[in-house]
Chain A
Amino acid sequence: MEIGVVELSRLQFATTALFHFLFVPLTLGLSVICAIMETVYVMTDRPIWRQMTKFWGALFGINFAIGVATGITMEFQFGMNWAYYSHYVGDIFGAPLAMEGLMAFFMEATFVGLWFFGWDRLSKRAHLMVGWLVAIATNFSALWILIANGWMQFPVGAQFNPITMRMELTSFFDVALNPVAQAKFVHTVSAGYVCGSVFVLGVSSWYLLKGRHIQLARRSIAVASAFGLAGVMSVIVLGDESGYDASENQKMKMAAIEAMWETEPAPASFTLFGFPDQTTHETKWAIHIPYVMGLIGTRSLTQEIAGIDQLVTRAHDRVRNGIVAYDLMMQIQAQRDSGVDPALIARFRRHEHDLGYALLLKTRVEDPRQATEEQISQAAADTVPHVWPIFWAFRIMVGLGFGMLCMMGYFFWRASFRRMSFPRWALWLAVIATPAPWIAIEMGWIVAEYGRQPWTVAEVLPTALSVSHLSVAEVAVTLAGFVLLYSALFVVEMGLMFKYIRKGPHEDVALTEDWMQRHENRLSGRAEVAK
């Protein structure tokens, strides 16, 4: 494959987005976990909970800084590298990004400073409120960006305007309440909770193994295992919902996840394992589980799930129909200045939904109306993404997800019903499993985004058309720059994380003794009254 601006731009976006998303889920999870711990502190007045809040809060701060820093790139990268995309869908895609700033980023950034600087300036309750506002704002920011991303997967509430040559919003409610976006939001946010919980569990287990900070570690495990168990169950349920949505709205992605080359009689079997081969359209060494795929994808025993070959045949027809739409669009353009015939627009609306398929031809021929039969076949074949990375990324994600469910369930059970006694093997497992949520989350994004190819906006705008008018040298320089900068930041961040974990919490002996004194006074006071 020739490396051009498109490939480099995609690589740069993938690098910066996947890197940014190493920090986002931990921010999501820890913000809520810290708020829970501070709530317990305010309710019980026990200094240990304040200590826990401050300790996990410090780690949250180290992580948050890089999350913010790398998030800046994301906000501007669409314009920098994806100029035609920004023009073509900015009318819809820009609004959630602006709402994210208005509703979430401001709240998050304003209160996070106060949270760190406000321990002595605010009353306990006011400080707790600030902590919850940070957590809520963090979750809101995920909501809006996932509404934007959900629209790229399943573009609802918009239509093409041939005069302004772009997609325009027709219903904001359709965009905001897009079922794909809603399922994605809960799935992603819950994944963040799991990430935060596994992190807290892993660090606390290490302390228990070393015999350090026992009080803090055991309480932290109690919080993390309960919160994490709820989170991981939510991830799995909403992941299933996303799968169901995908088989409705993103059939090609679904077929690629399953490496389902041909349509099977319903209910389809689930391929547990195998090696998909893109050239022969076969999956070698496949192990099938009957019925399961049909049940997950359609929730019925009779509905079929379309295979890749059948979808390519359909794509053929859609490219042809798209050429009709493209021709009508050009006719409308020609009449632009003299007034457009409404009948022409009505005809265009009937074919409009396939316009994107005609744009697939643009990489091969300047004017899609001049396309040869062979080019149409090639364009239809282009609609198949690379199957094996999607197939495997999905299986790694799901496998790790169920693994974490077992681990969280076990720790929750030991914490709740076995007096917080944890066998050493389990503690070691928790330490070793700490990277698991990150791997699962990154794999999930690969399934979602790589599985959407060759589109940036599914069936509307091809990736190859979306890029900016830049030279290879420019994108190569910035890509190298981002890789260097981010690598350096990563080393610094990990260094600080390990340093602060090794150092452990700041144990305020005076505060604890003061509290114990007051506690005893209260108990003896009660005893006095009883007498």
Chain B
Amino acid sequence: MILFELVPFEFLRVVWWLLIGVMLIAFALTDGFDMGTGMLLPFVARTDLERRVVINTVGPVWEGNQVWFILGGGSIFAAWPPLYAISFSGFYMAMFLILTALILRPVAFKYRSKREGTRWRAMWDRALFIGGFVPALLFGVAVGNVLLGVPFHLTPDLMPVYEGGLFGKLFGLLRPFALLCGLVSLAMAVMLGAGWLVLKTEGVIQDRARAIGRPAALLALAGYLLAGIWLAYGIQGYGFVTEPPHDGPSNPLLHQVTHGGSWLTAYAERPWIAIAPVLGVLGTLMAWRAIGRRGELSPLGWAQLGGFGMIASVGLVMFPFILPSNTHPDSSLSVWDASSSHLTLFVMLVGGAIFLPLIMVYTAWVYRVLWGKVTPDEVENPDTHAY
């Protein structure tokens, strides 16, 4: 097959970096409001009827939103096998906690309304809170660790070895900067959840969501700015000793990497990427403003723009690195030396080019069909509200 060679390897590598970024951001912005809604559940809804209203706002869409995570995982496996291997085996216990929380969530959504008992329902309410809180926190912590670099190396056979045992691996992740990133991630999810509830509910639930959403937006903004200052003065970045070929074989050990300088020098090299943090700050600030006013669609819109800018800024300052090693910098993974083969990236791009637009179209159609407020009277109708 010669066809695939017409598309340069370098181009495919960058395109897949972009696509995986899009998938992970789509996950954070859509499942983010589901998780935020789960966390807000005990605070914005007091009676069982109110809780059912809140749960039914995300009821028909959370499942599709969560698939962004599954798709992101599958695409990382297909496009960057070493990243898939190292991150999930290295963040082993953290991944287990995330999986546990994410396993509880589908079951909680579907089973909560299947029995009447108050204890039964309270149990699933707790599961929904955990299903939002744990992943939102740990995803942020993971991003913080990626920026710091994590302790792993590759053997000459390219076997990944992540240092630390049962507790070392898990608690080693809880470094101060990573916890700050976890906090930003939590605040962002709450802000998104509040934006969603402002759009989909009315009356007392909406008022409570507005009341919590505003401080959450401010907290996300403050945490993000603090993390930026920390990155500027307290955290070293990574760089190649000599720039590797962009179409070379995918073996990270072929290139030397130094740990030093700052990630933020990327803004000097590629000034245009400053648009990401600007959008991040602007969106969050506007979300804070909009949640306090009468608009019903604008809070979610601004919150999503803010989230997009913040997450994109992390990927953009790190480019081309995707997972640096702080103990053995030469093992660090980058876009240029940790991808799949030329053919695999090409085949996947064909698949993505066909199916991603289709996904966007039918997802938009489903949201349009489901457009409108969820109200307490309507929740009683099993033909429109299943939970």
Contacts and interface: CB of A to CB of B under 8 A. Distances in A.
A209 B371 CA distance: 45
B64 interface: yes
A19 B200 CA distance: 37
Contacts of B1: 171
A106 B344 contact: no
Given A95-B348, A117-B60, 13 more contacts: A62-B110, A78-B84, A83-B85, A94-B84, A95-B351, A101-B71, A101-B74, A102-B351, A102-B355, A109-B63, A121-B384, A122-B369, A485-B103
A164 B105 CA distance: 39
Contact of A87 (B63, B81, B162, B366): B81
A507 interface: no
A506 to B, nearest CB: 8
B64 A87 contact: no
A80 B169 contact: no
Interface in B69-111: 70-71, 73-79, 81-82, 84-89, 92-93, 95-96, 99-100, 102-107, 109-111
- What is the predominant secondary structure among interface residues of chain B facing chain A? helix
Indicate the size class of the contact surface on chain A: 35 or more
Interface in A457-504: 468-471, 473-474, 477-478, 481, 485, 489, 492, 496, 499-500
B113 to A, nearest CB: 11
Contacts of B225: none
Interface string B132-164: 000000000000000000000000111111100
B356 A168 contact: no
12 contacts: A71-B70, A75-B73, A79-B73, A80-B92, A98-B79, A102-B359, A116-B386, A118-B384, A119-B384, A169-B341, A169-B343, A496-B114
Residue from A117, A168, A337 having most chain B Cβ neighbours under 10 A:
A117
Contacts of A93: 77
A61 B341 CA distance: 40
- What is the predominant secondary structure among interface residues of chain A facing chain B? helix
A4 interface: no
A368 B293 CA distance: 71
A474 B249 contact: no
B162 A469 contact: yes
A101 B67 contact: yes
Interface string A133-177: 000000000000000000000000000010111101111100000
B15 to A, nearest CB: 14
Contacts of A121: 369-370, 384
A98 B78 contact: yes
Residue from B76, B105, B110 having most chain A Cβ neighbours under 10 A:
B110
A110 B64 contact: yes
Residue from B60, B89, B106 having most chain A Cβ neighbours under 10 A:
B89
A69 B99 CA distance: 9
B362 interface: yes
B381 interface: yes
Given A110-B64, A113-B60, A474 B93 contact: yes
A164 B100 CA distance: 34
A388 interface: no
A478 B169 CA distance: 14
Contact of B85 (A71, A84, A106, A492): A84
A114 B370 contact: yes
Residue from A66, A94, A496 having most chain B Cβ neighbours under 10 A:
A94
B340 interface: yes
Nearest to B114: A496
B77 A90 contact: yes
B110 A70 contact: no
A228 to B, nearest CB: 26
Given A83-B86, A98-B71, A101-B67, A65 B109 contact: yes
B67 A489 contact: no
A354 interface: no
Given A91-B344, A120-B383, A474-B166, A84 B87 contact: no
